[in-house]
């Protein structure tokens, strides 16, 4: 009995030992490693950088555009070969771009610390055989066959209400120059959609009320041109002159007050802008166009701009529909009204004529002009500009939407009605401009000539009207088609013989308002 019990207990002990050994040989499940941890603090798409408390989001878009009778950014045919409608112009131009954005945010005791950057990898077809080439951003940009270029948009740091770097101006509206359009050239207000180097501070007061103040570098987005009208032939054949702006001496001082509510947005903005000329001419006996430190320079002047903006949401026409509108006024800060990326446009458009070789319309965009010497005051006469632009945006259904947009802008030079007559006086901007214009146009010594009769007035208006329809078959993929009409209402009248920019010949041209229409298509995928 004792032997049987000993045998049973021994067998059980052996089985327990054997099972323990087998269990020790089984693999143990490892602790899960969290390679990507979602960050839900700042919206969709953010995740934690491994090993840190910083959230990051990588995004961007890929866009393909083609424009007929316009520039790559939807620029109307208002100057250059397109404005002349000559044989060098491209009937269409294409652009492909991929934008990459990196957004990082970290919660701290001072609030969120944010960095943001966007780079554009882009290729443009701009026409290599142009007689008057215009590159998309600067003369150093390369867009040749098989090539392209990289452009930098936003690059900034935000900390405790401050923003440092390249960002939208504190003056700007949230929609910038795009209340409903896809083209980059809707005039009538300010635009810094690719960023301006600045320092700014924003204070939030609660209930959607905020205020911002900043210092902007005016070099790219906020300066047009200053003309020295005492230089012989200061105004060229196309009604524009060489830029006599001095270097940047002071930043633009900008600010805004904004109210954001469920019904929409209301904003008031203001800016102060310095206008300064380089040098006066040396005067009689000196070489033409001679500029020297001993000839002195005009006194700098401060100009500025103001803007009121309004957005109305949830209008009765449909869910998500809205109206966006902004109104601007500027004195010596014309870029806040005639605003495009890079330099503001000077308008030179040619078309059919009732008599003479062709018709022509001019528009010179400046912040101011000066005319030193005995016949002039020597000071800078600031240019006045005002404008309005806006859009009605309607959603037909979740897949289709349409925007109707438009703008109107005016540029005015100081002077009375008598200054429309050449030689009536040169103490005003208008009179000085017209004398310089006369000196640049063959056969014109006054208002009458055997070659033609004209009345000089550099003032002009520009207006735009367009419609864009978008189709979004799937989320974040949109196809757009936009048509835009542009009108130049120039104030010159009569006709004049002059040599326009080649290949236009020396001929009799009639001064006349001009029109053009462009068509743009876009495919864009956001990610």
Q: What is the DSSP string of 397-465?
A: SSSEEEEEEEEEEEEE-S--GGGGSTTS-SSSHHHHHHHHHHHTSTT-SSSEETTEEEE----EEEEEE
Asked whether 475 and 457 are in contact (CB, 8 A), the reply is no
Rounded-to-integer distance, Cα 143 and Cα 150, Å: 10
Write phi, then psi, for 205 (nearest 5 degrees): -100, 0
pLDDT of residue 250: 97
Cα separations (Å) of 518 from 36, 66, 349, 409?
47, 11, 14, 19
Residue 328: exposure state from Cβ atoms within 10 A (0-12, 13-18, ≥19): buried
The answer to pTM > 0.95 is: no
The per-residue pLDDT of the chain, averaged, comes to 85
Write phi, then psi, for 436 (nearest 5 degrees): -65, -35
What is the residue whose two structure tokens read 């000993």?
Answer: 6
Among 246, 229, 219, CA closest to 301: 246
Query: Which tokens in the block code for residue 19?
Result: 């099972």
pLDDT of residue 378: 64
Among 443, 519, 523, 480, CA closest to 91: 519
Query: Which tokens in the block code for residue 226?
Result: 């200053």
Residue pLDDT tens, the chain, 527 long: 455 445 444 544 454 444 444 444 555 565 555 678 999 999 999 999 998 999 999 999 999 999 999 988 899 999 999 999 999 999 999 999 999 999 999 999 999 999 999 999 988 765 444 444 444 433 334 445 456 778 899 999 999 999 999 999 999 999 999 999 999 899 999 999 999 999 999 999 999 999 999 999 999 899 999 998 887 667 877 788 888 899 999 999 999 999 999 999 999 999 999 999 998 875 544 454 566 788 888 899 999 999 999 999 999 999 999 999 999 999 999 999 998 866 678 999 999 988 889 999 999 999 999 888 644 456 899 999 999 999 999 999 999 999 999 999 999 998 754 444 333 445 688 888 888 888 776 554 333 444 568 888 999 999 999 999 999 999 999 999 999 999 999 999 999 888 788 899 988 899 999 999 999 999 999 99
Among 443, 483, 445, CA closest to 464: 483
φ/ψ region of 371 (left if φ > 0, alpha if ψ in -120 to 50, else beta) reads: beta
Query: Which tokens in the block code for residue 468?
Result: 């864009």
Write phi, then psi, for 17 (nearest 5 degrees): -65, -40
pLDDT of residue 27: 57
Per-residue pLDDT tens for 23-58? 445 555 655 556 789 999 999 999 999 989 999 999
Asked whether 161 and 203 are in contact (CB, 8 A), the reply is yes
pLDDT of residue 374: 47
- Residue 224 belongs to what H/E stretch? none
Does the bond joining 423 to the residue before it have cis omega, within 30 degrees of 0?
no
CA atoms within 13 A on the CB side of 35: 0
Strands 322-331 and 347-351: unpaired
Among 278, 273, 217, CA closest to 244: 278
Query: Which tokens in the block code for residue 327?
Result: 């109104």
Give a three-class secondary structure readout of 351-387: ECCCCCCEEEEEECCCCEEECCCCCCCCCEEECEEEE
pLDDT of residue 242: 80
Q: In a 3-state reduction of DSSP, which class is residue 82? A: helix
């Amino acid at each position: 009995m004792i032997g049987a019990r000993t045998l049973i207990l021994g067998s059980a002990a052996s089985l327990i030992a054997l099972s323990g050994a087998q269990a020790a040989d089984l693999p143990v499940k490892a602790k899960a490693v969290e390679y990507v941890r979602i960050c839900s603090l700042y919206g969709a798409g953010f995740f934690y950088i491994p090993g840190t408390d910083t959230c990051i989001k990588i995004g961007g878009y890929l866009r393909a555009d083609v424009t007929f009778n316009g520039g790559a950014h939807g620029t109307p045919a208002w100057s250059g070969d397109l404005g002349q409608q000559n044989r060098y112009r491209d009937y269409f131009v294409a652009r492909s771009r991929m934008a990459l954005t990196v957004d990082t945010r970290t919660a701290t005791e001072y609030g969120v610390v944010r960095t943001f950057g966007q780079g554009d990898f882009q290729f443009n077809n701009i026409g290599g055989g142009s007689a008057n080439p215009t590159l998309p951003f600067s003369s150093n940009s390369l867009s040749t066959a098989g090539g392209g270029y990289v452009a930098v948009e936003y690059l900034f740091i935000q900390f405790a209400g401050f923003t440092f770097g390249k960002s939208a101006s504190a003056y700007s509206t949230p929609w910038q120059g795009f209340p409903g359009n896809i083209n980059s050239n809707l005039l009538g207000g300010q635009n810094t959609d690719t960023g301006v180097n600045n320092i700014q501070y924003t204070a939030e007061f609660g209930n959607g009320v905020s205020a911002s103040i900043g210092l902007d570098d005016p070099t790219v987005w906020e300066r047009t041109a200053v003309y020295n009208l005492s230089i012989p032939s200061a105004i060229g054949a196309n009604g524009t002159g060489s830029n006599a702006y001095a270097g940047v001496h002071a930043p633009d001082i900008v600010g805004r007050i904004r109210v954001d509510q469920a019904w929409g947005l209301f904003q008031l903005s203001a800016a102060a802008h310095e206008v300064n000329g380089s040098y006066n001419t040396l005067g009689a006996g000196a070489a033409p166009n001679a500029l020297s430190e001993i000839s002195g320079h005009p006194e700098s002047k401060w100009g500025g701009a103001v803007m009121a903006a309004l957005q109305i949401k949830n209008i009765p026409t449909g869910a998500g529909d809205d109206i966006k509108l902004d109104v601007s006024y500027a004195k010596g800060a014309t870029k806040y009204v005639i605003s495009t990326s890079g330099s503001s446009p000077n308008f030179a458009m040619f078309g059919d004529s009732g008599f003479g070789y062709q018709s022509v319309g001019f528009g010179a965009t400046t912040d101011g002009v000066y005319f030193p010497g005995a016949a002039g005051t020597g000071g800078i006469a600031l240019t006045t500009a005002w404008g309005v632009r806006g859009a009605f945006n309607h959603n037909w259904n979740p897949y289709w939407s349409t925007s109707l947009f438009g703008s109107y802008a005016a540029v005015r030079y100081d002077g009375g009605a008598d200054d429309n007559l050449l030689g009536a006086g040169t103490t005003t901007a208008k009179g000085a401009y017209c004398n310089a214009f006369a000196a640049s146009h063959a056969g014109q010594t006054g208002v009458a000539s055997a070659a033609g009769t004209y009345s000089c007035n550099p003032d002009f208006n520009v207006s735009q009207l367009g419609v864009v329809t978008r189709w979004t078959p799937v989320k974040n993929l949109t196809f757009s088609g936009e048509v835009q009409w542009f009108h130049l209402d120039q104030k010159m009248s009569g006709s004049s013989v002059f040599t326009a920019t080649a290949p236009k010949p020396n001929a009799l041209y009639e001064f006349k308002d001009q029109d053009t229409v462009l068509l743009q298509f876009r495919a864009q995928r956001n990610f």
